[in-house]
């Protein structure tokens, strides 16, 4: 290698170094430009976000201005009404107030009547639907019974063919399924019939309430209205009282059983006693039990109910106490306070209603509504 080639190589190396340095510088400048571009894009995004927030705030302020304007308009209208009322005489204001009270009371009464009519129509519709369902269930029940008879007949024929044991087992399984379906449909049928009976009772009660509201002007007059209820059994009177005063009366299972077994000849008197007991309960819990005297005294003097506790002899007798231990689901409780209804000879002329005041649940628990218990 001569000197000239060496010089050329050195110059080439310097040129390559300069080019590499230049490329590195250009790369750093490109990265700075990209970073600045990214920063500008972030700034533009932030500005757009700020613009959107300002636009939303402007809309909110406009809505607030509209609201204040509407309130100002309402205030002006109210002010005009007040000024018009100030120009009226005391007699004119009294007349206006009386007319408003009458209109309000009439509207409330019409609304109550309309609600009762709506409930009546709704119950009639539901009863019609339930009757249709019962008809469908009965038809399905008959079809299943026919299938059941056919399968049993077929099963008896199959028993003569030992080679068809598997099919026989499948048919037996199907018979079991059909028996279960039959039992389920029977239960649904009984439930539907019970529901229809309850709805018919409810419809009768709504008709009674609607009639009361058309001839009374307040709830107190509504419940004091003289009606021919015509209960045929004590159980009907008990159920109606529970429906009317379920907010204060809690009828126990033992009371329903005793009412079913009762032959008391004046079920309407049983309902009126339960009604008065419910009124007492509303008064008692409204006063938080502070009624100024014993509940026996208040029931006798204010609600005309013959109410007494059991004697010490009965309370000390294990046998007689057990007869006064009433039940509701899995609850059991001894009740000694009771109402005496009727009198004279014959058990069908006498009724006893045993109850307990439950301050925790704010209910009067009715444990017995039936025959005179042993003493």
Longest dimension (CA), the chain: 154
Which residue, among 253, 259, 212, has the nearest Cα to 238 in the 3D structure? 259
**How far is it, in rounded angstroms, from Cα 357 to Cα 310?**
15
pLDDT of residue 155: 67
Residue-level pLDDT at 254: 96
With residue 347 as reference, give the H or E element that holds it.
Answer: none
Write down the pLDDT at residue 222. Answer: 43
Percent of the chain at pLDDT > 70 equals 79
For the stretch 348-367, pLDDT in tens is 899 999 999 999 999 999 99
Euclidean distance between CA atoms 1 and 4, whole angstroms: 8
- The three-state secondary structure class of 27 is helix
pLDDT of the residue at 322: 92
Distances (CA, A) of 274 to 23, 112, 150, 248: 105, 24, 55, 11
Residue 93: predicted pLDDT: 59
pLDDT at 226: 47
Both tokens of residue 281? 């309960």
What's the pLDDT tens digit per position in 249-306?
999 999 999 999 999 999 999 999 999 999 999 999 999 999 989 999 999 999 999 9
**What's the chain's length in residues?**
375
Task: Quote the pLDDT of residue 128.
Answer: 79
Kindly report whether the global pTM for this prediction surpasses the value 0.85: no
> What residues in the chain have per-residue pLDDT under 50?
211-226
Long-range contacts of 68-77 (CB under 8 A, 24+ apart): none
């Amino acid at each position: 290698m001569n000197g000239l080639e060496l010089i050329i190589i050195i110059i080439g190396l310097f040129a390559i170094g300069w080019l590499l340095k230049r490329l590195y510088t250009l790369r750093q400048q490109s990265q700075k430009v990209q970073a600045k571009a990214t920063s500008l894009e972030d700034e533009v995004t932030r500005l757009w976000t700020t613009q959107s927030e300002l636009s939303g705030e402007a809309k909110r302020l406009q809505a607030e201005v509209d609201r204040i304007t509407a309130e100002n308009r309402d205030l002006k209208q109210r002010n005009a009404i007040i000024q018009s009322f100030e120009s009226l005489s005391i007699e004119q204001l009294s007349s206006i107030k009386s007319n408003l009270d009458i209109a309000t009371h009439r509207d409330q009464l019409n609304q109550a009547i309309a609600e009762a009519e709506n409930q009546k129509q709704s119950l009639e519709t539901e009863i019609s639907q339930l009757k249709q369902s019962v008809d469908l269930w009965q038809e399905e029940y008959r079809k299943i019974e026919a299938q059941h008879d056919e399968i049993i007949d077929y099963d008896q024929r199959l028993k003569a063919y030992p080679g068809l044991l598997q099919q026989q087992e499948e048919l037996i399984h199907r018979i079991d399924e059909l028996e279960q379906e039959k039992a389920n449909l029977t239960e649904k049928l009984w439930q539907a019939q019970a529901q229809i009976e309850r709805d018919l009772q409810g419809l009768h009660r709504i008709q009674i309430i609607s009639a009361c509201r058309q001839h009374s002007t307040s709830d107190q007059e509504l419940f004091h209205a003289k009606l021919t209820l015509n209960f045929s059994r004590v159980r009907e009177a008990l159920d109606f009282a529970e429906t009317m005063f379920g907010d204060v009366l809690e009828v126990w299972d033992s009371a329903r059983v005793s009412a079913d077994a009762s032959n008391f000849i004046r079920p309407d008197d049983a309902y009126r006693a339960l009604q008065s007991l419910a009124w007492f309960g509303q008064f008692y819990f409204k006063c938080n039990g502070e009624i100024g005297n014993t509940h026996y005294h208040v029931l006798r003097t204010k609600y005309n109910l013959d109410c007494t506790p059991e004697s010490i002899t009965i309370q000390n007798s294990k046998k007689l106490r057990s007869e006064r231990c009433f039940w509701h689901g899995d609850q059991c409780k001894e009740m000694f306070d009771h109402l005496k209804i009727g009198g004279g000879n014959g058990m069908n002329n006498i009724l006893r209603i045993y109850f307990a005041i439950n301050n925790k649940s704010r209910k009067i628990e009715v444990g017995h509504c039936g025959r005179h218990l042993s003493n």
